[in-house]
Structure 1
Amino acid sequence: MHSDPSPVRPVGRGAKVRAAVHAATLAELLDKGYAALTVENVAQRAGVHKTTVYRRWKDRESLLTDALAEHMAMDIPVPDTGGIETDLRALARSLVQSFTSPTGQAVLAAMFTGAAHLPEIAAARRHVFDDRLARAEPVVTRAVERGELAGDTDPAELFKTLVAPIYLRLLMTADPVDETTADQAVRVTLAAARAGALRRARDGDPASG
């Protein structure tokens, strides 16, 4: 029996192929950066033919966008610890852990520097934020039901307040980002929420206009 001389080994179809290609895309991004990312290298690393990749993604930009969105959505779990402070702490610490990992750093570099000019990447950033907001909203809903937060607390404003100091350090100041950063973000966010600064805008409310 002759062995297959091809370096490409089939990995299956459907979801399995998609997962393999996504993983290969992130690995290539980590190893070589956005500028050197190619569909051919991704396909070889994933163990599929490049025609298989092109059947699902029209170019490297759409492939990268899909892989980034999937990675960012799946990498941050939705906590349910029974309390708003511990929920937010788990959420913020997960965010910090994700973005300070080697893969997280590569993802940030692609989304905010190397490929930041692409409309597809701008759309991916919006998709990632919307997805994270949708996943974090139950944290606020449960806190309201437990009486820990006011009923008009705006989940979007709370989430923005929570992540803002983390992103500031990651993208602007290059200050250290660790669990202390996450915990401080939680304290500030809860203080703002309990002071009524993160409520939903209503018709006629100055905050709405």
Structure 2
Amino acid sequence: MEFSAADPGTVRPGGRTARVRAAVLRAAGDTLAERGFAHLDLADIARRAEVGRTTVYRRWGTVTGLVADLLADMAEQSLPRTETGSLLGDLKANARLVQRTLADPRQGALFKAVIAAATCESKTAAALHRFYDTRVKEWAPCVQQAVDRGEVPAGTDVHEVIRAVSAPLYYRLLTCGDGLDEAAADRAAEAAATAARAGVYVLG
């Protein structure tokens, strides 16, 4: 769908509150990647982040609240869309961004953990949906520009085209974990672009 997220907190402005948030979110992301959602504990996160336990409980309250903030931070810091002037070029840029994120050992493991938690925890699911919605909306204008240029039919669901780009990459991440290379990213982009041009995503 998206996106590639920078490490949480790396480009946030200064100040003690920002530094505390960055440290806590980094610790939460590391724990998710290393041990999964089930082992996420606010007291342990406070220790790893080297901040007061009371601060963490007061600000985030629950593990799900912390994960929601982590995903919000990742969405905010994800790299912006690339505009190449062609639908295929834009979709390849998007796909390669997704591929690099999911192929990264830390980021791939983090997303696996959050997706697994989202299957049985409604607040985590809602936070994950907001993350993807943010990233899809960031890239959807690339498809709208292709509509405006006449590359794809009017009435194309621009959001569905973006979702179609990353879907095969997430499938690989969750089912086999291998083959997440640039070739796979390019194939996903080419398939989505071909389908979009053929009118597969036209609404109604």
- Common fold: TM-score over 0.5: yes
CA gap of 1:139–1:57, structure 2 versus 1, over 3 A, is: same
Matched, 1:37 2:56: no
Aligned equivalents of 2:137 and 2:164: distance in 1? 15
Work out which of the residue numbers 155, 164, 168 in structure 2 matches 1:152: 155
Q: How does 1:185-196 map to 2 (within 5 A)?
A: 185-196=188-199
Work out which of the residue numbers 41, 51, 54 in structure 2 matches 1:51: 54
Work out which of the residue numbers 100, 105, 119 in structure 2 matches 1:102: 105
Provide the residue aligned with 1:71 in structure 2.
Answer: 74
Provide the residue aligned with 1:162 in structure 2.
Answer: 165
Q: How does 1:134-153 map to 2 (within 5 A)?
A: 134-153=137-156
Q: Deviations over 1:64-86 (max 9, x none)?
A: 22213422553343112222211
Question: How many residues get paired?
Answer: 191
CA gap of 1:83–1:76, structure 2 versus 1, over 3 A, is: same
CA gap of 1:84–1:196, structure 2 versus 1, over 3 A, is: same
Provide the residue aligned with 1:182 in structure 2.
Answer: 185
TM-score, normalised to structure 1, is: 0.82
Aligned equivalents of 2:128 and 2:109: distance in 1? 14
Please say if residues 158 and 198 of structure 1, whose CA atoms lie closer than 8 Å, have aligned partners that are also in contact.
Answer: yes
Aligned equivalents of 2:194 and 2:141: distance in 1? 19
Tell which structure's C-alpha radius of gyration is larger.
1
Please say if residues 155 and 202 of structure 2, whose CA atoms lie closer than 8 Å, have aligned partners that are also in contact.
Answer: yes
Bigger RCO of structures 1 and 2 (CA < 8 A, at least 6 apart): 2
CA shift at 1:57, angstroms?
0.7
Instruction: Among all aligned residue pairs of Structure 1 and Structure 2, give the percentage whose two residues are the same amino acid.
Output: 38
Q: Which moved more, 1:132-141 or 1:11-20?
A: 11-20
CA shift at 1:187, angstroms?
1.0
Aligned equivalents of 1:167 and 1:73: distance in 2? 21
Please say if residues 92 and 182 of structure 1, whose CA atoms lie closer than 8 Å, have aligned partners that are also in contact.
Answer: yes
TM-score, normalised to structure 2, is: 0.83
Gaps of 5+ in 1: 1-10, 202-209
